[in-house]
Amino acid sequence: MYFLRKAYRDIRRNFLVNSVSTIIIVFSLLIFSIFLVVSVNLNRLLVNWKGKIQVICYVKNDLSPNELQNMKRRIRELGEVRSINYVSKSDAMLLFKRFFHNQDGIVEGLDKDILPASFEIHLKEKSHGGWRIDEFVKKLSQFEGVADIQYGREWITRLSTIVHLLRWGQLIVGGILFLAISFIISNTIKLSIYSRKEEIEIMKLVGATNGFIKIPFLVEGFFQGVFGATLSLGLLYLLYQSFLWRSGPFVRASLGPIDFSFLPWSSIGGILLVGISLGLAGSYLSLARFLKA
């Protein structure tokens, strides 16, 4: 209790220095958490895009309903299928008309049986890689009754490469950012402790033990970390809400329907933990130099 009171007194005494270091912690962590929010939502966007990957299997005209049912069952048995949907000739025409509803000239006079029936197949996420889809399509093409298969191979390969690059990029940029903010925060705390070098010297001269000197500084470091992380998360939330309000509709219109998300609780806890750990470690390491003698 004494050390808490002392830390509170010291924070008030050194209000300016403590405020400056807390502000630096806030902005360093804010930069890192902005990166995390962007990463989280980028991943959601990629999952969303990947969910749209589908294989369209056109079937021959002369298949009976029984044969179609049989074929659907066999496709499911391939094991990679998340969902499968049969689109009959008339359904295909209906979709076609809906798509071109403003251009009557195109639709007019078309025979309702002109479009082929098909199975729309969505694969499980683990099967989204280019070569896995290739394998699936190869197995599918050996089925009797298959007229043609379309699956936008190039687009899938490109998307897989983008996902791969982005995941690595996130790791590298995230790692560098984390190192940078650790460096900035620990040095900020170091500077704030250096500014109180004389006080530490006097404490040593009058017979303070290392523990007595360290504990209030560690308590201060802890609170700087907690305040810094909490304020940065608060600011991040405000920025996130204002982004949703101002740019959300525009982004959705450009990139497709995406459910934006704030940081998950685990990341919020992680940022608090990072703030506290850096506050404590910064204080501890800086003090270690003074207290060697």
- 199 is an interface residue for other proteins by CB under 8 A: yes
Give the whole-angstrom CA distance, residue 181 versus residue 162: 27
Candidates 201, 234, 252, 261: give the one binding other proteins (CB under 8 A): 201
* Angle, helices 265-290/153-194, rounded to nearest 10 degrees: 30
Q: Which of 206, 245, 257, 265 binds other proteins (CB under 8 A)?
A: 206
Query: Is 293 one of the binding residues for other proteins (CB under 8 A)?
Result: yes
Helix axes 210-246, 248-255, angle to 10 degrees: 70
Q: d(Cα 224, Cα 19) in Å, to the nearest integer?
A: 9
202 binds other proteins (CB under 8 A): yes
The conformation of residue 127, written as its DSSP 8-state character, comes to G
Choices 76-84, 152-160, 208-216, 243-251 (CB under 8 A): range interacting with other proteins: 208-216
Q: Please name the helix (run of DSSP H) or strand (run of DSSP E) that holds residue 120, with its range, or none.
A: strand 118-123
Closest CA to 45 of 203, 159, 204, 201: 159
Residue 95, token pair as written in the block: 């979709």
Q: Which of 96, 212, 237, 262 binds other proteins (CB under 8 A)?
A: 212
Among 79, 198, 259, 266, binds other proteins (CB under 8 A): 198
String marking each residue 148-187 x if it binds other proteins according to CB under 8 A: ----------------------------------------
- Among the listed residues 64, 65, 104, 205, the single contact to other proteins using CB under 8 A: 205
By C-beta, is 124 or 197 nearer to other proteins?
197
Nearer to other proteins, 171 or 202 (CB): 202
Encoded tokens for 224? 């700087």
The one among 26, 57, 121, 203 contacting other proteins by CB under 8 A: 203
Q: Applying CB under 8 A, which of residues 4, 13, 82, 238 lies at the interface with other proteins?
A: 13
Does position 208 interact with other proteins (CB under 8 A)? The reply is yes
Among 209, 242, 247, 261, binds other proteins (CB under 8 A): 209
Separation in Å, CA 163 to CA 69, 82, 92, 122, 175: 36, 20, 32, 19, 18
Of the pair 205, 253, the CB lying nearest other proteins is at 205
Backbone conformation region of residue 109, classed left if phi is above 0, alpha if psi is from -120 to 50, else beta:
left
Coil, helix or strand at residue 258 = coil
CA distance 192 to 138: 66
Alpha carbon distance 229, 27 (integer Å)? 9
Taking the complex as a whole, the smallest distance from the CB of residue 12 to other proteins amounts, in Å, to 10
Mark the segment that binds other proteins (CB under 8 A) among 21-29, 204-212, 240-248, 256-264: 204-212
Q: Which of 182, 195, 210, 277 binds other proteins (CB under 8 A)?
A: 210
Residues that bind other proteins (CB under 8 A): 2, 13, 198-199, 201-210, 212, 293
